[in-house]
Each structure stands twice: as C-alpha cells, then as structure tokens.
A and B are shown apart, each in its own frame.
Chain A
Amino acid sequence: MLVSLNWLKQYVDIHGFTAEELAEKITRSGIEVDAVIDRSQGMTNVVVGYVVSKEKHPDADKLNVCQVEVGEGDVRQIICGAPNVDAGQKVIVALPGARLPGGIKIKKAKMRGQESNGMICSLQELGVEGRVVPKAYADGIYVLPEDAVPGSDALELVGLRDTVLELGLTPNRSDALSMLGVAYEVAAILSREVKLPEVKYETTYEKAEDVLNLRVEAKENPLYAAKVVKNVKIAQSPLWLQHYLMAAGVRPHNNVIDITNYILMEYGQPLHAFDYDALKTKEIVVRLAHEGEKIVTLDDQERNLKAHNLVITNGIEPVAIAGVMGGANSEVTENTTTVVIESAYFEGLSVRRTSKEIGLRSDASARFEKGVDPNRVIPAAERAAQLLAELAGGEVLEGTVLVDELDKTPARVVVSPDFINARLGMKISLEDMLSILNRLQFDVEAANGLLIIDAPTRRQDIKIEEDIVEEIARLYGYDEIPMTLPEGNDQVGGLTPYQAKRRVARNFLEGAGLYQAVTYSLTSEELSQKYALKAEETTKLLMPMSEERSTLRQSLVPHLLESASYNVARNAESVALYEIGSVFLGKTAEDLPYEEEHVAVVVTGKWVDNAWLGEKVNADFFIVKGILEGLFEKLGLQNRISYAKSTVDGLHPGQTADIFLDGEKVGIIGGLHPVERKNLDLKDTFIAELNLKAILTATGEELVYTPVPRFPAMTRDIALELDRAVPAGEIIDIIRKAGTKLLKGVNVFDVYEGEKMAPGKKSVAFSLTYFDPERTLTDEEVVNAHEKVLKALVETGAEVR
C-alpha cells in the first residue's frame, strides 16, 4: 500500500511530524513502513513553461525548436524531441542547473547547431513510473492545464511535492488497504481525530429501482448495491485526482474509471462501473456461472468459467466475474452516458479461488479476498454517486438498488484488564487501557472489572481477547514491556542420550580430520537411490521447481561426492567431508516417508601431505575404515561390528564392504568405481555411509573399570600362507575361537603378496597376545594355548610358515 501524505492529510492532521518521524511511529506501533519515498527526489529548477512557438529543427527531422516562456518576459529557446509538443501548450521545463532523478543534470547545450536552454519533460523524466503515466502522455511530454502560470513550481502542480509511505502490510491488517484505514491508524497513534469525507449530492426524481432490476441468486454475494447515474460526460479527471492515483501506483484513465479507483483506495471498497445501455436488459442478476460458460474480460481475454465462479450477468449472459474483472461487453467507453456503479460484498474465499483459477489478481480481488468492511459497502456507493455528480457532471437517480443480507454487527470482545496485564507481564492502568481503546475508536464499556468492546467492522482482525492484548500493548509501546524469565520450571532439560551421542560422533569425526558438510535433501530422481543402504519407494514432489530437486534422497553420498568434486575442480588437494542428515525411505502408517538419520564420509586426494618431510599418503580404503573403527570404539560397539565384502553400484567391486552391527546391515564402505571417478573428475576416492540412527540407538556396554594388568603379557607370532582371496578377518575369527581365555588380542602385523609368493597366494602374519590378569603365565601354558590355535589353523587348510 502506497500512502501519499498529501492525500492522507485530507483525513487526519499530521502536522508536527516529519515523514520519517511518522513512518517510525507507524512502524513501531503496528504497520511496517518499508520505505519513505520523497516524490520530488530532490529536484530543483523545474518550472511551468508556455510554448510560444514551435518550428522544425533545420537539421534534424525529429527535433523541434521551441520558444518557451518560463517566467514573465523570460523566453528561452529549447530543443524538444517529443512528438506531442506544440505551440500554445503549458509544459514542464527543467531549466539549466536542474537535477533530475537518475543523476541527470540539465545544462545549456547545442543540439545539431541550435542552442537549447533546458528540457521539456515527460513525467517519466521526473521519476514517475511509466506504468502509471496516463496513456495520452506515455510516449511524450506531459501537458499541463491552460491555467498553469509560467515560471511557477511545476512539481507542485503535478503532485510531486509529496511524500509516499510504502506500507508492508501483514495479512491481518487489510483495514490499512485504504486511506481511511490508514487515517484511523495514524489518528490512534497521534491521538488525533479522523475527518471522514462529507458525502452530499442531489438526485433526480427518477428512481434507480425503476430503471434497474436486481436479483442475487448466490449466497457468496450477501450484499449488492447499485447506483445509476445518467448524463455522465466521460473526460479526464481533475489533476488532483490523477495525481493521487499516480501516487498510489494507479494509472489514470477517465473520470468514471478514476472515480472507482479513487474510492477503492479511499474506502478500500472495490467498485465496478457498467455502461447501463450496454447491459441491454435493464437487469442485473448475480449467480454462479454455468460450467463452461464464457466471458471476454476487459483485457480482451476469453475466459472459461466453472460452476463455482460467481458472475454478474444481465440476466442472459455474464457481464463481469464478481470481484475479479469486468466484461468487455459492458465496459464504460468514451460514448457511455449512463453508468451503473456496483458496490458489493463478495465472499473472500470465492473471489480468492476464482482469481487464482483465472490467474488474475487485482487491487480489487486482493481486497475482497481479505474481506472488505461490511459497513463501508453502501457508503462507498454513495461516495461514487457524489463524485460522478461533481466530477463527471452526472445526474444521480434517487435511491440505491439493493440486496442486503449481510451481517454488519461488530465483533464483541469481553476481556478483563487483569488478563491483559497478566499476558503482558505489565501493570497498565484501566484509564490507560480505556484511553488507547478510545483512540482506536473501539466502542468500549467498563463494567464489573471487564472491558466490553465492540470492535469496528473495519478491523476484522479483532476477534478475541488476545487481539485486545495486542492493541493495548502496541499502542502503549512494546518498549515498556519489562524483561523477565519464565517462572516455575520443574523441567531439568538437557540433551537426550541420542542427541548427546550425536554430538560425540560429530566431535570424533571432526577430530579425525573431516569437515562437516550440509547438502540438499532434494535431489534428482536418478541420484535419489544411488549408493542407498537400502533402496525403497522414493518420495517425490508434486510440483518440483526442477528435475534436479524433485525427489528426496535415500543416500547422503551423491551430494557429498558433488561437494568433493566441486572442491577438487577448485584445486583442493585434499577433501575430507562428513554429513549427518536424514534419508527418506518408503512410507510409514502416517503416510509419511520413514526418515532415518545417516552419516556419510567422503575422502579424496592427499590424506597426509608433509611435503618437505617427504611424507605423502593418498586417500585409501583403510583411512576411511580406520575412522569408522574409531567411531565404533568411541561408542563401545567395536566388538559387535563386522565387515563383509560386497558390491554396490558405483563402487569398486574389489574395494567394497557391507558393515554389520550384531549381524544387521548398518552401512557400506568402499572405493569409488573408476568410471564414477572419471565422471566426477576425482582421483582415488573413498566413501562410507552408516545408519546413524541404528548406531546411536544401539546401547553400548556399560562402562565399568577393569583392573590395569599387573602381570606381563606374552606374544607369539604366526605367519600363514593363504589363498589371496581368503579375508584376514576370517582367520582372525578362527584364531579368536580357538584361543583359550588366555588369548587377549590378535593383530595383523604383515601382509605380503609378491614375487616371493606362489601365484595366487599371500602371506599374512599375526601377533597373538596372551595374559592372565591374576598371575604371570608360564611358558608351558602359553605353548599349550598357542598349540590349539595352530591346530585349528592347520585344520582349515592354512599353511603355517
């Protein structure tokens, strides 16, 4: 909403405050002022000029040499290229030294050899938006009325000595979608009076109801008022009205249209003007459209109507889509003489639905959607009649053609001052509360410790006690509210075990050298299941903005790889990232996808790079595995985790494993497949993804101290020759099983595959640790235990070297 202060002054006294001060007060007490716009934009030396003569420029087809009087006896030559400039016009002249919007400075100049002492201006050159400039002047200079005085301030004359407040209205404050609504608000803030326009006009003996029949056949239209005005002379509106409209962002057309727009802005009540003769039937019938019925609207578009669209008809065919747009068949034209003015209450939901379907949102439909003031519908029609008489020479027929079943009673709210103070944590006196409510022009009565309030119908946002709390607080001043903290808390608060462990996991992963990444949950359908631990039914958006963000992901890996690739493309030598986030799987009973929190890791490039020390380690499988093992150990799960070789699309078939917790699959780890690496322009790259939810909800072993061993441990080494395909993990399992309770640790300390081995063979060396916490072991005991292990190994076919 654009509020011209010149216009606002017609209804409320704002003297004593600068525009900025007023804006600050309005913002602090309820409605945000987004901008304070000085329409003069600091322009100077812009005056009225009289074009004494116009001649063609001798050397330029499109230029005219004008002699312009810009003050008594002060005639200057000005070159003008506008097609509509002519002798005898009063025009806007920017004199040399003038500064115009956009940093333009006017200087004396020669144009094709002819001197020019200034510029004849269009409204656009004065900073008026092209879309609101009247069509007649849209492509040329603006022509002033004949009585303009040369040399006087032109900005005053075109309404640019004005300041406009741009209001950022929240949906609840539709009352401020009108100048009167803003006036009430400002009056309440400043404790001043509101001056309503005085509506008086003469009527003819002829009665409106004798020339117009009205029927309303739809409950979506509880109030319809029509005025009939005869002998209207279609012409330009007076300048003041045009300027108010332009300040409000509306383009002037002709007096009838301008009057409806003016009242739309003044009262917040949309009006529509029909050409009475074009209606043909002397009848208006409001009804729901027939399915498939058609209407050509004012913008010359043919619209297909549905059975729930509310239409105004002439009893035969639609002449307007109610509250949205008029029809071309009943449009007011230059030849119109009799006008029907419609002022109605159309239900917001109906207008909203129709305007959305048709794709037409206008100042009018926006106001209907939010709900117009029931008590301003008929006054707006009266105001229109008055202005048509005053500004278009019309003769108003007596009476209003009316169907009125609208409830116009104000909402009653009963609230106790104690409640208000309790909600606010304040001690505002009853007197202060009453004073605020009076300033707001709320009808209030204090009785039995209660405030009985009838809120005016223009304030449709006032319905409940809390609304009154807000009104009192905002006008009393939010700065006056003290600062306290909630009392009476018996909740201890704190992180849940899951949340605490998640923080532990984050700390661990960061300590292990990984940066936390955050990527998007939405991905393409193609990537949504790639690398997924378990692919299930995907969740897709109904109307995605792009295919790239159309589906919810089932793995964190694809976007992490994209991030890795992004960094490598920018010359990062080493990228190590992790992300914690949800994946979206299948459906639950609630018809929502099952959301599972996962953690994923990606490592690429150099892991260790101490160049001057000659130490370089590239990313490999065991770096990532080591990180996971560390995490499992941190969570006390190391003895319940196992790995098994596996294949996953996109991962290297020889470098991929599934990860199990107590035998349940909870993750994958692997090297990126060479083809994928090539696609993403990555070198050796390794990833892992874990079902974090499963891992953090698995209860680890209770943390109880075990005594530090007081007796020495003994170690024995075993070297085995194995088939290359035999996993070391299997051998460790065999050793663990065969070892007696004295065996406390098994460690791989050497793996060799090379020329010294037979083809297809490898050598793996294990170090076994034996000890007894209670005593020193004898050699014999260790030998016995170790023999059992060796025997078990031999039985499986391993060759002990």
Chain B
Amino acid sequence: MEQQLKQLEQEALAKIEAASNLKELNDVRVAYLGKKGPITDLLKGMGKLSPEERPKMGALVNTVRENVTNQLEARITILEEQAIQEQLEKESIDVTLPGRKIRTGNRHPLTRVIEEIEDLFLSMGYEIAEGPEVEKDYYNFEALNLPKGHPARDMQDTFYITEETLLRTHTSPVQARTMEAKKGEPIRIICPGKVFRRDNDDATHSHQFMQIEGLVIGENIRMSDLKGTLDALAKRMFGEEREIRLRPSFFPFTEPSVEVDVSCHKCGGTGCNVCKQTGWIEILGAGMVHPNVLEMAGYDSKKLSGFAFGIGAERIAMLKYGVDDIRHFYTNDIRFLSQFHRTEE
C-alpha cells in the first residue's frame, strides 16, 4: 500500500509538472485529490489495516496529499503569472503613435491683442465702453472738435451713409457718447471696436480695422499720468524692458497732442529693419483732451481735465508677432489663425 501511495505521488507530480495550463492542472487536482480520486480511495481502504499501521499510513497519506497540493499550488502560481505575462504582451501598444486629437480652436490674434490690453486696463480700474459702428457725424467729428469743413477731416476719408451718418472712422465717438451720458462725472474707459476708412485694401491698408481707445477724465489729470499709463501699456505689450518717448503731434480732439514711440522690441533700440534703424517704433497717438471736447460734452474744462489715446490692434499684432500683411487678419486662413493657439514666450 505504501508503495502504491508513492507511485501515485510520483504520477501526480509528473502530471503537475507536465500541465501547461490551469485547466490541465485542475484535471490533475480532480483526478488525484478529488472525492473520487485514488488517494481518497486509499484513505477509504485504511479500515482494512491493523490499528498500528493506521496512524502511520494516515500520516503518509496526508504527507502525500500535502505534497501534491503544494506542488499543484506552486504550479498554479507559475501558470497564472505566465498567463498575465502573455496578456501584457498581447496588450502592449506602440506608445509613439499619435494620440487622439482633441479639437480646439482659439481666439483671433486681434481679439488676443485687444483682450490683453483690456485686461491691463481692467486691472487699473477701467471699464470697457462700446458703441455703434454706424455713427452720427456729430459724435464722430463735431463733438470731437472737428466741425464740418475742418481741414483735418481730410486726414481720414470717411464712408458716409447719409450727410449726417457714417461708418465711424475711430472709436472716439464712444468717448463722446460716454462723456455725454456721464454728465460731468469722472471717466475711466477703454473703447475697443471696429472702425472704417476709405482705403483700398493692400498689405498695409484695410478699409476695416480694429482700434482701442482710452479716455480718463477727472480732477487733476496730468500729462504725466498719460505718460505713465502708456509706459505701462508698452511694457505689457512689448516687454518689461521697453521704454516710450513722446513726440509732438496734432489731433483736433487733444491739446497737447503726441505720437508715442516704443523702443524697438526686436533690437532693443540699437537699430534694425523693424524700427527702420531708428531704435523706435511709432505705436499710437494720444494727448490731453481738448477743452472744446470737454465743454461740448458738458464738462467744465477749468475744473476737470483728461487724457485720451488710440491704438491700432492690427499694428500692435503685426509688430508683436511679425505679421507682414494686414489682409491676413481678414482672410481667416486656418494656417494663420492656428498659429495663435499657444501661450507666448
């Protein structure tokens, strides 16, 4: 019997060793350890043994059982590991293939420039004022110290709708309307928007473009405030190292009037193609609000003063991003638009 048992053990261990998958192992388990297996049969046959032999045989059977069970489990572990290994191999991918695209769009570069300027001024307590694109001659010209027949009206060719209405040539009429509505109260606004001039569209001209104007009116608003404000604007748009300089100029709605140059962001001021070797680039026009403009809107020009400035979004975008043709902003070529997806720097 003992010999029989040893033989069974040998057989079982051999089959365990030979099993290549979990099912075969299970068959082995059922065959040798199951209720109908030979070891169980042997146990059942123990009753025929003498009482002295019984414990000895019992111990032996248990040892065999244990041995087979252990081997079985060890083998299961190995096979399971193998199975996982196989699964991992089967599931492995080429991680260098491109990912599933997330569709995203982005802002138009002009909006990007305008929002950047808006955000700067919002942080300084300004509000954003908007107004109609079709304007009355009064708000576009007359309220801005440009009466009918004024020679400076030649400076900007205008699309008229009727004798008295037109497509605004700047966003200044929004300033005029705001002043009228505020009835003598202090003002701090910027006015972004579309404006129109009679120009043939080419690389540097566009009959429609975007302007951002600013207006501050209050007690004791000084030209130094204008200079400080524009310095902050230049630094925000073109970098902390930028400096500005003012040059005398003329606009009918401001006195004194200035053109504002910023030190060249390309060469830092030493001279290059962008700045035409001067180290400076003209970026905007500004000035102290003309007393006639204040008075016409019902402000006491002896008590209150103000400054105003106007900047072209296209010009800023062209300088900032090196865009060479203004028409790019209006053809909406995806290959152009999509370049303004990323953050700067």
Query: How distant is the Cα of A170 from the Cα of B248 in the complex, in angstroms?
Result: 10
Number of A-B contacts (CB under 8 A): 245
What would 28 A/B residue contacts be, using CB atoms closer than 8 Å?
A28-B248, A32-B247, A425-B222, A467-B255, A481-B246, A482-B224, A484-B227, A485-B225, A489-B125, A493-B126, A510-B107, A513-B105, A517-B332, A518-B110, A521-B167, A521-B194, A521-B196, A522-B207, A541-B160, A541-B161, A542-B159, A544-B159, A570-B333, A576-B103, A576-B105, A592-B135, A593-B134, A595-B133
Residues of chain B contacted by A447 (CB below 8 angstroms): none
Interface hits, A498-552 → B, CB 8 Å: 499, 503, 506, 509-522, 539-545, 549, 552
Interface residues of A (CB under 8 A from B): 27-32, 170-173, 348-349, 352-353, 369-370, 422-426, 464-467, 469-470, 473-474, 478-479, 481-496, 499, 503, 506, 509-522, 539-545, 549, 552, 563, 566-567, 570, 572, 575-578, 581-582, 584, 590-593, 595, 607-610, 612-613, 615
- Are A515 and B332 in contact, CB atoms less than 8 angstroms apart? yes
Q: Are A28 and B223 closer than 8 Å at their CB atoms?
A: no
Q: Which of B19-27, B60-68, B212-220, B265-273 interfaces with chain A?
A: B212-220
Contacts of B224 in A (CB 8 A): 424-426, 481-484
Closest to B108 in A: A516
- Looking at the assembled complex, report how far the CB atom of B169 sits from the nearest CB atom of chain A, in whole angstroms: 13
B100 contacts partner chain A, Cβ-Cβ < 8 Å = yes
- Contact A479 to B245, CB < 8 A, known contacts A470-B255, A473-B223: yes
In the complex with contacts A514-B105, A576-B103, A584-B134, A489-B218 CB distance below 8 A: yes
Residues of B within 8 A of A595 (CB): 132-134
Of the candidates A348, A423, A545, the one whose C-beta lies within 8 Å of that of B198 is: A545
Q: Which of B97, B149, B161, B330 contacts A520 (CB 8 A)?
A: B330
Q: Which residue of A lies closest to B219 (CB)?
A: A488
Q: Quick check: A466 and B290 within 8 Å, CB to CB? A: yes
- Residue B75 is within 8 A (CB to CB) of chain A in the complex: no
Chain A residues with Cβ below 8 Å from B198 are 545
Determine if A506 and B107 form an interchain contact, defined as CB atoms under 8 angstroms apart: yes
Extra contacts, 4 of them, besides A32-B259, A478-B247 (Cβ < 8 A), are: A369-B151, A478-B248, A522-B208, A595-B132
Q: In whole angstroms, what is the CA distance A542 to B207 when docked?
A: 15
In the complex with contacts A470-B256, A483-B228, A518-B330, A491-B106 CB distance below 8 A: no
A518 and B332: CB pair below 8 A? yes
Report which of A470, A481, A495, A566 forms a contact with B333, defined as CB distance below 8 A: A566
Cα–Cα distance between A584 and B168 once the two chains are bound (Å): 14
The residue in chain B whose Cβ has the minimal distance to the Cβ of A592 is B134
**Does B334 count as interface, using CB distance less than 8 angstroms?**
yes
Within 8 A of A (CB), among B118-157: 121-122, 124-128, 132-136, 149, 151-152, 154-155
Residues of A within 8 Å of B186, CB to CB, are: 489-491
Beyond A424-B224, A478-B245, whether A516 also contacts B111 by CB under 8 A is yes
Contacts of B134 in A (CB 8 A): 539, 552, 584, 592-593, 595
Inter-chain contact A466/B125, CB cutoff 8 Å: no
Among A488, A541, A577, the residue within 8 A (CB) of B159 is A541
B76 within 8 A of A: no
Is B333's CB under 8 angstroms from A516's CB?
no
- B258 within 8 Å of A (CB atoms): yes
In the complex, B331 has a CB within 8 A of chain A = yes
**Residue among A173, A465, A515 having the largest count of chain B Cβ atoms under 10 Å:** A515
Partner of B250, one of A173, A489, A520, A545: A173
B229 touches A486 (CB 8 A): yes
* B69 within 8 A of partner (CB): no
Chain A at the B interface: mostly helix, strand, loop or mixed? mixed
Separation of A607 and B104 alpha carbons in the complex (Å) = 11
A237 CA / B217 CA spacing, docked (Å): 58
- Whole-angstrom distance between the alpha carbons of A488 and B221 in the complex? 10
Report Cα–Cα, A370/B149, bound state, in Å.
Answer: 11
Q: Is the CB of B124 within 8 A of A493?
A: yes
Instruction: Kindly list chain B residues whose C-beta atoms are within 8 Å of the C-beta of A521.
Output: 133, 167, 194, 196, 208
Chain B residues whose CB sits within 8 angstroms of the CB of A607 once the complex forms: 103
- B residues contacting A by CB (< 8 A) are 97-98, 100-101, 103-108, 110-111, 115, 121-122, 124-128, 132-136, 149, 151-152, 154-155, 159-162, 164-165, 167, 186, 188, 194, 196, 198, 200, 207-208, 210, 216, 218-225, 227-229, 231-232, 245-250, 255-259, 288, 290-291, 305, 329-335, 337-338
- Evaluate whether A352 and B149 lie within 8 angstroms (CB atoms) in the complex, with A470-B248, A515-B337, A542-B160 already known: yes
What A residues does B334 contact at CB under 8 A? 515, 567, 572, 575
Q: From A612, which residue of chain B is reached at the shortest CB distance? A: B97
Residues in A with CB closer than 8 Å to B250 are 170-173
Q: How far is the CA of A465 from the CA of B136 in the complex (A)?
A: 30
Residues of B within 8 A of A470 (CB): 248, 255-257
Decide: A592 near B132, CB < 8 A? Known: A517-B108, A545-B200.
yes
**Residues of A contacting B335 in the complex (Cβ-Cβ under 8 angstroms):** 570, 572
Name which of B111, B159, B164, B257 has the most chain A CB atoms within 10 A of its CB: B159
CB distance from A305 to the nearest CB of B (A): 20
A509:B105 contact, CB within 8 angstroms = yes
Q: Is the CB of A486 within 8 A of B290?
A: no
Q: Which of A31, A482, A499 contacts B227 (CB 8 A)?
A: A482
What is the bound-complex CA distance between A339 and B159, given in angstroms? 46
Chain B residues lying within 8 Å of A171, measured Cβ to Cβ, are 151-152, 154-155, 250
Nearest-CB residue, chain A, relative to B257: A470
Contacts of A578 in B (CB 8 A): 105
Partner of B256 from A466, A510, A514, A516 at Cβ < 8 Å: A466
Q: How far is the CA of A716 from the CA of B57 in the complex (A)?
A: 65
B215 vs chain A, min Cβ distance (A): 11
For A612, what are the chain B residues with a Cβ–Cβ distance below 8 Å? 97-98
Is B248 a contact partner of A30 (Cβ separation < 8 A)? Answer: yes
Please give me the residue from chain B that is nearest to A584 by CB atom.
B134
| Contact indicator A425/B127 (Cβ below 8 Å) | no
Q: What is the minimal beta-carbon distance from A518 to any residue of chain B, in angstroms?
A: 5
Contact (Cβ within 8 A) B100 A610: yes
Let me know if B161 and A540 touch, CB within 8 A: yes
With beta carbons under 8 angstroms apart, the residue of A485, A506, A615 that contacts B111 is A506
Q: From B245, which residue of chain A is reached at the shortest CB distance? A: A479
Q: Which residues of B contact A563 (CB under 8 A)?
A: 331-332
In the complex, are the beta carbons of A423 and B249 less than 8 A apart? no
CB distance from A14 to the nearest CB of B (A): 20
- Contact flag A543-B246 (CB < 8 Å), given A506-B111, A509-B105: no
| Alpha-carbon gap, A595 to B159, bound state (A) | 17
Nearest CB of B to A84, in Å = 41
Given A423-B305, A481-B246, A543-B160, is A464 in contact with B188 using a C-beta cutoff of 8 Å?
A: no
Are the CB atoms of B128 and A592 closer together than 8 Å? no
How far is it, in angstroms, between the C-alpha of A590 and the C-alpha of B180 when the chains are bound?
A: 15
Give chain B residues whose Cβ lies under 8 Å from the Cβ of A484: 222, 224-225, 227-228
For residue B339, give the distance in angstroms from its CB to the closest CB of chain A: 11
Q: How far is the CA of A607 from the CA of B217 in the complex (A)?
A: 50
Chain B residues contacting A369 (CB-CB under 8 Å) are: 151
- Once the chains bind, are B106 and A516 in contact (CB under 8 Å)? yes
The residue in chain B whose Cβ has the minimal distance to the Cβ of A349 is: B149
Taken together as a complex, chains A and B put the C-alpha atoms of A613 and B225 apart, in Å, by: 60
Residues on the B chain within 8 Å of A32, using CB = 247, 249, 259
B188 touches A591 (CB 8 A): no
Residue of A nearest to B121 (CB): A493
Are A567's CB and B105's CB within 8 A?
no
Cβ B208 vs Cβ A512 within 8 A: no
Cβ contacts under 8 Å, B333 to chain A: 566-567, 570
* Residue of A481, A496, A591 with highest tally of chain B CB at under 10 A: A481
Across the two chains, which residue of chain B brings its CB closest to A516?
B108
Bound form: Cα–Cα A419–B58 in Å: 120
Task: Report Cα–Cα, A613/B194, bound state, in Å.
Answer: 44
Collect the chain B residues with CB atoms within 8 Å of residue A348's CB.
151
Which B residues are in CB contact (< 8 Å) with A481? 223-224, 227, 246
Chain A residue nearest to B190 (CB atoms) is A493
Q: Which residues in A have their C-beta under 8 angstroms from that of B329? A: 518
> In the complex the two chains form, what is the Cα distance from A171 to B151 in whole Å?
7
Chain A, Cβ-Cβ closest to B337: A515
